[in-house]
Structure 1
Amino acid sequence: MDQHVSLTIFKRVTESAASIRSVLPESLQNPKVAIVCGSGLGGLADTIESEPKHEIPYSAIPNWPQSTVVGHAGKLVFGVIGPKKVPVMLLVGRAHFYEGHTMDLVTFATRVCKIIGVETMLVTNAAGGLNQDYSVGDIMCLNDHLNMPGMVGNNALIGPNIDEFGVRFPPLSDAYDLDLRRRAHRAWKKLGLDKTKRRMHEGVYAFLSGPTYETRAECRMLVRLGADVVGMSTVPEIVIARHAGMRVLAFSLVTNCAVMEPVARGDAPEIQAMSKAELDEYLSKGKAHHEEVLEAGREAAKDMQALVKQILTDLHED
């Protein structure tokens, strides 16, 4: 990316922000919080009040990347949330690196949020559980990440720095806001969710590019590197949000448990008498499916919605 391209990105971002503002009612012009709704979590849009409310399909916004993933509606929803009527902006669907988008498009929406005036990004995703203590339906609050594509040349900030957003070398040791994480745990208890079977953890998110789910060997590697969950989004958005000085709180919904056991050897005694169908069934145990990701999202939606609403309510009562 040369300097001309980086200036073009800034111009496109400001054009998109201006287009969005031009159709928003005055009461929704200045959202301070943006919520990114991950796979199966579009129901978070139900956390806002029915009035005032304004929706904008991504297709109506100039320069906006279009999502092609099932479970991502592809729209912005503006409204207010909680008794304090906190103005919020929800991104129902996101662009992914695996869809073929460049990193500047994957993170385009995050930069638009900054131009519009957002100060806090609340990012959600669906992820595979690597930590053996995690169960399907649990929620993990991110406190760190492994940016695997970023380590091999696909960092979201590669190229000339866009000075209008932030510095050339932003630190990420403080990526996940400690005060917001503390509020998340307090909200979880205030809602009585700590008394349910669903648990909230804190841990490390490993970002891989996808779209394939991870192999067994890759899962074992990620565990040894310190990852608790693995997914295909979020980290580029976090990098850009922190570069632009926004506070970040992020959650992963554990939608499946990664298969860790080494794959069976072809000369293993226990498989020698199996039929082809039995072999296929034996190998497919624990295999991840996008459908179960969406189903786990539906099951956890109410708890996630309540948690987000409580965090934002508490944040704006101080």
Structure 2
Amino acid sequence: MTDLAPSPSVFQRATETALYLRTNLTEELRNPRVAIVCGSGLGGLAETIHPEPRIETAYANIPNFPQSTVKGHAGKLVFGLIGPAKTSIVLLVGRAHFYEGHTMELVTFATRVCKVLGVETMIVTNAAGGLNPDYAVGDIVCLNDHLNLAGLVGNHPLLGPNIDDFGVRFPPLSDAYDLDLRRRAHLAWKKLGLDKQKRRLHEGVYAFVSGPSYETRAECRMLRTLGADLVGMSTVPEIIVARHSGIRILAFSLVTNNAVLEAGARGDDEGIQEMSSAELEEYLGRGRANHEEVLEEGRLAAEDMQVSESGLNEECG
């Protein structure tokens, strides 16, 4: 039987990685207070920081770091200062995913490193499919809860011996999504006038599935019935580990496609009997998700989210 338990040396390895990073950082960047995780196509959020000082390090050059293999995830840490207060920040431009074959320990390792570096608040972003029919492609959703489907069937990031250096054995998650930070996000959105634009800001529940295949129609209906507004393949493991480590969380999903909730046509439906193969393919493919659409919507939304992140930093003081 494969041992899925976290290595007892996670804290030591995270400390080793943090020490390596600090040797290449200036004094003002060595203890970032805030971390931003940039999801699919949202690497442009790195432009929220001041141009100087700015230090980038590729994941490939960082000891113990997992490598992201997914298009749209650059795979680098960017250290800098943000906002009028010049708050020290680190951006994780790209993430490792469970579906890439990484263990949950590796998927969440960067979060552990952030804790050792001194991060107090994480802003986590992702691209997600919209299950809530009120959501439009391009809308942004501030997460207020989640469904950890993978965790409920045994793929939980805290599985195995507890790492006491980070947190308690049984951390509560009823307060995982910081209410004060969510309030400030909404205030910043209005203060910047973004509520007057076409793109809307919602609050909702994110369902985490392991992927990498997109969900079937039946799975989308099931998730919606369970109370999910969005579905995606990331974020929740990072949030659980961040909360285990005492880090405050603010999370946003960009709606990059509307999940198909209606049942597909039956083979004996009268309306399709005379359709050609091409017509059948077009009929069945309506609303089908693809990664290129995800990246394009991420690119289009990145500028608005850059404004929002900068405004949020100012709102938070």
Give me the TM-score of the superposition, normalised by structure 2.
0.98
Q: Give me the whole-angstrom Cα distance separating, in 2, the residues matched to 1:261 and 1:314.
A: 41
Q: How does 1:41-80 map to 2 (within 5 A)?
A: 41-80=42-81
Q: Give me the whole-angstrom Cα distance separating, in 2, the residues matched to 1:36 and 1:162.
A: 23
Q: Give me the whole-angstrom Cα distance separating, in 2, the residues matched to 1:313 and 1:161.
A: 37
Partner of 1:175: 176
Q: Is 2:206 the partner of 1:202?
A: no
Equivalent pair of 2:11/2:163 in contact (CA under 8 Å): yes
CA drift of 1:5 comes to 5.4
Partner of 1:91: 92
Q: How does 1:218-237 map to 2 (within 5 A)?
A: 218-237=219-238
| Gap regions ≥5 residues in structure 2 | none
Partner of 1:249: 250
Equivalent pair of 1:34/1:113 in contact (CA under 8 Å): yes
Partner of 2:122: 121
Q: Give me the whole-angstrom Cα distance separating, in 2, the residues matched to 1:96 and 1:313.
A: 31
Partner of 1:146: 147
Describe the shift of the 1:130–1:37 C-alpha distance in structure 2 as closer, same or farther (beyond 3 A): same
Partner of 1:188: 189
- CA displacement, residues 9-34 of structure 1 (integer Å, 9 cap, x when unaligned): 22211111111111111121111000
- CA displacement, residues 116-154 of structure 1 (integer Å, 9 cap, x when unaligned): 000001000000000000000000000000000000001
Partner of 1:14: 15
Q: How does 1:220-299 map to 2 (within 5 A)?
A: 220-299=221-300
Describe the shift of the 1:292–1:24 C-alpha distance in structure 2 as closer, same or farther (beyond 3 A): same
- CA displacement, residues 197-229 of structure 1 (integer Å, 9 cap, x when unaligned): 110000100000000000000000000000000
Describe the shift of the 1:294–1:200 C-alpha distance in structure 2 as closer, same or farther (beyond 3 A): same
Q: Give me the whole-angstrom Cα distance separating, in 1, the residues matched to 2:152 and 2:8.
A: 25
What amino acid does structure 2 have at the position aligned with 1:158?
L
Q: Give me the whole-angstrom Cα distance separating, in 2, the residues matched to 1:19 and 1:281.
A: 52
- After superposing the two structures, state which structure 1 stretch, 291-300 or 129-138, moved more: 291-300
CA drift of 1:313 comes to 1.7
What amino acid does structure 2 have at the position aligned with 1:238?
I
What amino acid does structure 1 have at the position aligned with 2:140?
I
CA drift of 1:3 comes to 11
Describe the shift of the 1:255–1:23 C-alpha distance in structure 2 as closer, same or farther (beyond 3 A): same
Describe the shift of the 1:10–1:4 C-alpha distance in structure 2 as closer, same or farther (beyond 3 A): farther
Q: Give me the whole-angstrom Cα distance separating, in 1, the residues matched to 2:173 and 2:232.
A: 19
Q: Give me the whole-angstrom Cα distance separating, in 2, the residues matched to 1:44 and 1:153.
A: 33
Equivalent pair of 1:80/1:86 in contact (CA under 8 Å): yes
What amino acid does structure 1 have at the position aligned with 2:58?
P
Q: Give me the whole-angstrom Cα distance separating, in 1, the residues matched to 2:56 and 2:99.
A: 26
Q: Give me the whole-angstrom Cα distance separating, in 2, the residues matched to 1:10 and 1:77.
A: 22
1:124 partner SS: strand
Equivalent pair of 2:143/2:203 in contact (CA under 8 Å): yes
Identity %: 71
What amino acid does structure 1 have at the position aligned with 2:164?
D
What amino acid does structure 1 have at the position aligned with 2:291?
H
Describe the shift of the 1:4–1:201 C-alpha distance in structure 2 as closer, same or farther (beyond 3 A): closer
Give me the TM-score of the superposition, normalised by structure 1.
0.98
Q: Give me the whole-angstrom Cα distance separating, in 2, the residues matched to 1:186 and 1:97.
A: 34
1:87 partner SS: strand
Describe the shift of the 1:286–1:26 C-alpha distance in structure 2 as closer, same or farther (beyond 3 A): same
Partner of 1:29: 30
| Gap regions ≥5 residues in structure 1 | none
What amino acid does structure 1 have at the position aligned with 2:287?
G
What amino acid does structure 2 have at the position aligned with 1:257?
N
Q: Is 2:217 the partner of 1:216?
A: yes
Partner of 1:309: 310
Q: Give me the whole-angstrom Cα distance separating, in 2, the residues matched to 1:125 and 1:131.
A: 16
Q: Give me the whole-angstrom Cα distance separating, in 2, the residues matched to 1:207 and 1:224.
A: 15
Computed over aligned residues only, the root mean square deviation of the Cα atoms, in angstroms, reads 1.2
